[in-house]
Amino acid sequence: MKVLIVGVGKLGYKLAQLMIDEGINVTLIDNNSKMLERINEHVDVLTIEANGIDINVLREIEINTYDLLVASTDSDETNTVVCLLAKKLGCKRTIARIRNSEYMMQLDFIKKEMGIDHIVNPDLDIARSIEKYILQNYVFHTDEFASGKVHMLDFHIAHHEEFIGKKLKELEGFENLLITAILRDGEIIIPHGNTSILENDTIYIMGECTDIDKLNARFDFNIKNKPVKKVMILGGSNISYYLAKNLAKSNISVKIIEKDRLKAEALSRVLEDTLIIHGDGTDINLLEEEMLSNMDAFVGATGMDEQNLLMALMCKQAGVSKTIAKVSKQNYTKIIDRLDIDAALNPIDITASNILKFLRGGKVISVSLLLGGEAEVTEIIVSKDSQFIQKSLKELKLPKGVIIGAIVRRGKVIIPKGGATLEPKDRIVIFSLREDLETLKRFFNPRKGGMISELWNRAKGTGNTTDN
């Protein structure tokens, strides 16, 4: 597969890294020479210093031979035009990043007229993830798979005596749950039965949602939380706009604190059900005046990761039940789990997951990047001609970093053991380290160049791929 990425900001760079791991032939175009030099130092990819909207450049690289173009510049208008030109010149499919909230009301028209097959919006994507986290009944971060039947959650052990020093095989109440990974001092550990849990570990657990409730009742984690009715958001960003608008539909009271007067006034005109406060959201006195202690959740959604993390931490210490921070820098991935906040969500990882799902076609239901992209959880449907049907998981000899965490068969969730087998139409939820993705691809389709290529070809032929 050949992919052209126009615009190598955070999203373009992340996609290039992920696609190279998938064995995809990637070309990057940007007019920022320093950015391209930095990418060449870290990623084995072809880079071209040029304007991606230049039709002559697209012709010179033979855009008609490319399977996909991803337009991820900072300009929505440039992204749409690049997609239009590429499609007219013969590129098979296009993806555009569009962030302007005004354009989001016209997506169907834009896609049809501009030749865009898929649109991503990092601000909207993360707003939806934050909304989902706020509305759920747990105070830890979870992802849902198999239409909500399977949950993957991360739980910080901290000082829980029920876990510290125990081996996984010694844990009671985990018969129908699977600990897929442990994060320890910034490093990922793929555990086995004799792996011991240490203080301050973060464990990643997969299981049916009802079994998570049973686990809570057994160990008294106090992970259930009261319903959220009041939310405070720091920063008047696009994320804040989308989040406040969606929360209002659930009858949740929202306050947004924005330092810039013009931004605050603009938000007040478009968010009728939200209280917009002009002020410095890092001023704890202002937060106390705005009844921070009565808030059920706090969201740091400014353009500064450090500010979001610091204020989420301060609000947690002030007694707010749920604190969430938007974090875009990958450098913070390994320290976030040591902080006393409930969730730190990365819009780049969320949008990259969205694009990976599109790449993998109609047979892939969902993709979630974990730990800054060092691991991922993928949900796929087993086809009737798969070469691993009726083989036990033990016989498949998967690499250590690839774990089939759950099987959903005829609506029933199975947490598999070594003797479990796969059947046609099973939905399987797979945890894998990025370093083992190449092996995972060969496992799914060793004769045709891997899972990605096969599913891409199927999606092109059948039209199964759908947007999120």
The pLDDT, as a whole number, for residue 192 is 85
Q: Give residue 43's pLDDT.
A: 84
Interatomic CA distance for residues 24 and 13, integer angstroms = 14
Q: Report the distance separating Cα 78 and Cα 85, nearest Å.
A: 11
Amino acid, single-letter form, for residue 20: I
Tokens read off for 118: 């898929």
Tokens of 121: 């919006």
Contacting residues for 61 by C-beta, under 8 A, at least 6 apart: 4, 27, 29, 48
Which residue is associated with the tokens 């139409």?
425
Closest C-alpha among 423, 403, 422, 413 to residue 147 = 413
Written as six digits, the tokens of 191 are 């555990």
pLDDT of residue 138: 54
Cβ burial, residue 181 (10 Å; 0-12/13-18/19+): buried
User: Quick one: which H or E segment has residue 459?
Assistant: helix 451-462
Residue 422, pLDDT score: 86
Nearby residues of 388 by Cβ (< 8 Å), 6 or more positions away: 396, 422, 443
Our CA dihedral for 305, 310, 315, 317, rounded to 10 degrees, sits at 140
Q: What is the pLDDT of residue 240?
A: 96
pLDDT at 417: 83
Residue 466: predicted pLDDT: 35
Centroid of chain to Cα 99: 17
CA distance 321 to 316: 7
How high is the pLDDT of residue 58? 95
What pLDDT is recorded for position 448?
45
- The crossing angle, in degrees rounded to 10, of helices 33-42 and 10-21 is 30
Q: What's the rounded Cα separation, in Å, for the pair 297 and 294?
A: 9
Tokens of 53: 């909207």
Q: What confidence score (pLDDT) does residue 112 get?
A: 83
47 beta partners = 28
pLDDT in tens, the chain (468 residues): 899 999 988 899 999 988 887 778 999 999 999 889 888 888 888 999 999 999 999 999 999 999 999 999 999 999 999 999 999 999 999 999 998 888 877 888 888 888 899 999 999 999 999 998 888 755 555 666 767 788 877 777 776 777 888 898 888 778 788 888 888 877 888 888 899 999 888 888 888 878 877 776 665 554 445 688 999 999 999 999 999 999 999 999 999 999 999 999 999 999 989 999 999 999 989 998 999 989 999 999 999 999 999 999 999 988 898 899 999 887 776 677 667 788 888 999 899 988 988 887 656 667 777 766 778 888 888 878 777 788 888 887 787 888 888 898 988 888 888 788 888 888 888 888 877 777 666 665 544 444 444 444 444 444 343 333
Domains defined for the chain, CATH in brackets: 2-120 (3.40.50.720), 126-133+226-345 (3.40.50.720), 355-462 (3.30.70.1450)
DSSP 336: H
Amino acid at site 350: I
Residue 265 CA to residue 363 CA, distance in Å, equals 45
Structure tokens given for 182: 């442990």
Contact in structure between 418 and 393 (CB atoms under 8 Å): yes
Q: How far apart are CA 127 and CA 125, in angstroms?
A: 5
